[in-house]
Amino acid sequence: MNSKTADPAFYFLNYDYDRLNPDLGGNEIELVYPKEVTSIFTTVNGPETATLDLVDWLTGDDPFELEEPVQFSGFFPTILKTDAPISERAYPLYSKKFLDALKSLGPFDGRVFQTQIEDDVVGSGDDPNYRLGQITDQFVLIWFPHLDILDVETSVYSNRYPPAGMVTGLQNVVLNIPEEGLPPIFRLKASPVFTLVSASAKVALEEREISGLKFSTHPFGSQYRTG
């Protein structure tokens, strides 16, 4: 008798790198200001004042403040066609359409920072009507909540650091899902570099035709099964 495999309760959110023009070198946006932020950072020895790159605060679990709008430059011919601009530092920069899709599922627990992106195209090329120096505010930086729900006894990873509550080399992921269910989008306290979405959030993003993203049951692709 064949048994039906249950649909996953969560997915990893990855960029669609296939759409990116190779001439951009994997980087269609650049942070202009602020590149660094000073705030209180939690270490294994306790809280300390630290000055870190902005992306470190955005993917970390410590409170911080930002002067808004955060300034970027970007390649408008591609970023205006996506909801998830790509950068080497993987800034959590998404369209307001993406954010609206998440908010449609209920209260949103993340933090949202307004941005301005200036077009970095310097010549009109073959299009004499291309307007140089455009600025858009249609993208936001989002800090996602961190959940301490990784089942470290069942999940597969390379190393574990109990004092910091972290793991590295995460491969197969098993979560202790709360009784109330998963929020639409979140990071794992044990491995915050990854962004995860609930099954309902995946459906909402697909129904809104959010572009530039891929969903996977594995942190780095779909070739592995999620436990």
- The confidence score (pLDDT) of residue 130 equals 86
- The confidence score (pLDDT) of residue 2 equals 40
- The confidence score (pLDDT) of residue 5 equals 45
- The confidence score (pLDDT) of residue 221 equals 65
User: Taking the complete model, does pTM exceed 0.75, yes or no?
Assistant: yes
- The confidence score (pLDDT) of residue 3 equals 39
User: How far apart are the C-alpha atoms of 50 and 170, rounded to whole Å?
Assistant: 27
- The confidence score (pLDDT) of residue 60 equals 94
Q: CA end-to-end span of the chain, whole Å?
A: 22
- The confidence score (pLDDT) of residue 147 equals 96
- The confidence score (pLDDT) of residue 199 equals 97
- The confidence score (pLDDT) of residue 6 equals 60
Residue type, 36: E
> Please, which residues bridge with residue 29 across strands?
74
Residue 34 contacts residue 66 (beta carbons within 8 Å): yes
Task: 200-205: list long-range contacts, CB under 8 Å, 24+ apart.
Answer: 200/105, 201/101, 201/102, 201/105, 202/11, 204/101, 204/102, 204/104, 204/105, 205/98, 205/101, 205/102
Residue ranges of the chain whose pLDDT lies below 70: 1-6, 124-126, 221-227
What are phi and psi for residue 219, nearest 5 degrees? -50, -35
User: How far apart are the C-alpha atoms of 100 and 167, rounded to whole Å?
Assistant: 32
User: How far apart are the C-alpha atoms of 215 and 90, rounded to whole Å?
Assistant: 16
Cα angle vertex 89, ends 200, 177, to 5°? Answer: 30
Pairing mode of beta strands 146-147, 185-188 = parallel
- The confidence score (pLDDT) of residue 99 equals 98
- The confidence score (pLDDT) of residue 24 equals 77
